[in-house]
Amino acid sequence: MIMLISRSGRQNQRYENGRRLIAGCIPYRFKADQSNHDKCVQSLEVLVVKSQKSDRVLFPKGGWEKDETVEDAARREAMEEAGVEGLVETQLGIWTFNSKGSKGGERVAHVFPLKVTNLQDHWPEKEFRERRWVSVEDARKRCKHPWMSKALDQLIMRERERHGMAFN
C-alpha cells in the first residue's frame, strides 16, 4: 500500500515582498442535467472541500513551493485536499487576501480552473476533509471568502464565453 501524505513545513514556501504565495484551483466538471425533459442540458459543477478548522467550504489551495511551478502547486493542492486530478487551465486571476489563521499575514493567491479527469478514492487529507460536488449557485452561497467568489465568477464567465450558455 502506498502511503499518501501532504507536504508540510514552511522552509520551501515562496514569498514575495513578505507575502506568502498561494496556488489554488477550482475543480470542475460538466454534468448532464435531465430535469428539462425537452433536451439534455449541461450543468457546471464545482468541487469544494471542507475547511479543517470550521464547517466552511473552500476550493483547494495552499502554499506554492520553491521546487514547483505555480500550476504544479495548484495540481498538488487539488490532489492533497480533494483527491482529484485533472487539466490545469489558464489562470483565472491573482487575488490578495489577509489570512486569519494562526500565522496571519497577507497572501497572494494564484487560482486556476482544473477540469477534473480522475477522482481518487484515497488522498492525503481524506481523514480531515470532505469533498462535495455542488452547483455553481450552491458554491456561491457557501463560499465565505470574497476572493474565492470572484475566482468562481471568472470561471463562470470564461465557460459562458467558451460554450455560449448560462450555468446554474
The CATH number covering residue 131 comes to 3.90.79.10
Q: What distances in angstroms separate CA 92 from CA 5, 61, 148, one per listed residue?
A: 28, 14, 11
Residue 74 in any domain: the answer is yes
Q: Is residue 100 part of a domain?
A: yes
Dihedral sign, Cα of residue 67, residue 69, residue 74, residue 76: negative
Q: Does 159 map to a domain?
A: yes
Regarding pTM above 0.95, the answer is no
* pLDDT computed for residue 6 by the predictor: 59
Q: Is residue 79 part of a domain?
A: yes
Range of the domain at 140: 15-163
Low-confidence stretches of the chain (pLDDT < 50) are 1-3
pLDDT of residue 54: 79
Cβ 123 vs Cβ 80: under 8 Å: yes
Give CA–CA dist 82/79, Å, rounded. 6
Domain count within the chain: 1
pLDDT at 3 (0 to 100): 41
- Among 111, 103, 123, which Cα is nearest to 9's? 103
- Of residues 116, 2, 9, 27, the one with CA closest to residue 67: 9
On whether residue 4 sits in a domain, the answer given is: no
Amino acid at 87: L
Q: In the block, which residue shows the cell 449541461?
A: 42
Residue 143 placed within a domain: yes
Query: Is position 81 within any domain?
Result: yes
Strands 131-135 and 57-58: unpaired
Q: What is the pLDDT of residue 11?
A: 77
Residue 139 domain-assigned? yes
Helices (H), 3-145: 70-82, 136-142
